[in-house]
A and B are shown apart, each in its own frame.
Chain A
Amino acid sequence: DTTVKQNPRYKLARVGKPVNLICSQTMNHDTMYWYQKKPNQAPKLLLFYYDKILNREADTFEKFQSSRPNNSFCSLYIGSAGLEYSAMYLCASSPGGVQNTLYFGAGTRLSVL
């Protein structure tokens, strides 16, 4: 089974409120990633966990948090949502190392109002 599951598929949030998105995988992959996709833009890497180590991209460092309580689960947390956070959020996993295939979930579409 090469499935990455994301919940929920759609999420509505209010400006200023927190948002928590969930991702799970059962492939025992070492690395889990979060990407943000906006219309007419390329998917943008926000952060990734390699085992228990969190790596956040420099330009999104303060905007997103994440936790990985065990190998299978990873969350993406926005402390105070703004309109600019409206996007599709894609979670992915890979076995770790380099030149591996990333397995993506179907995404969570976040709308901030």
Chain B
Amino acid sequence: GDSVTQTEGQVALSEEDFLTIHCNYSASGYPTLFWYVQYPGEGPQLLFRASRDKEKGSSRGFEATYDKGTTSFHLRKASVQESDSAVYYCALSDQNTEGADRLTFGKGTQLIIQP
């Protein structure tokens, strides 16, 4: 079945550092790829998505490019802020189900930004 593998555990950075969280996927079809972010006490919320090879998704200074050749969708941000501290999930969507987006998630990466 489909699967998503992302940077495991915690990533600890200082403010203004460059961020990369790796995400690789395995899917039988041509999935849509997502990054979701979960702040403490809240549910995951969509950061952005990409549906086609070489498409770049971006939001709030974060970006990722769909790479079908390497089956990757790595999350990057040039200069992180303390407010970016959260758990980040990479996910893909099974597009073969009527009426629903059946998301397959990675385990999540906790980003900790020290002031």
Contacts from A to B (Cβ < 8 Å)? 4, 30-31, 33, 40-45, 48, 50-51, 53, 55, 90, 92, 94, 96-107
Contacts and interface: CB of A to CB of B under 8 A. Distances in A.
Interface of B: 4, 32, 41-46, 49, 51, 89, 93, 95, 97-108
B43 A42 contact: no
Contacts of B93: 98-99
A63 to B, nearest CB: 18
A81 to B, nearest CB: 23
A27 to B, nearest CB: 14
Contacts, number: 69
Given A4-B43, A33-B100, 20 more contacts: A31-B99, A31-B100, A42-B105, A42-B106, A42-B108, A50-B98, A50-B100, A53-B99, A55-B100, A94-B101, A96-B100, A97-B99, A98-B95, A98-B101, A99-B51, A101-B46, A102-B101, A103-B45, A104-B44, A107-B43
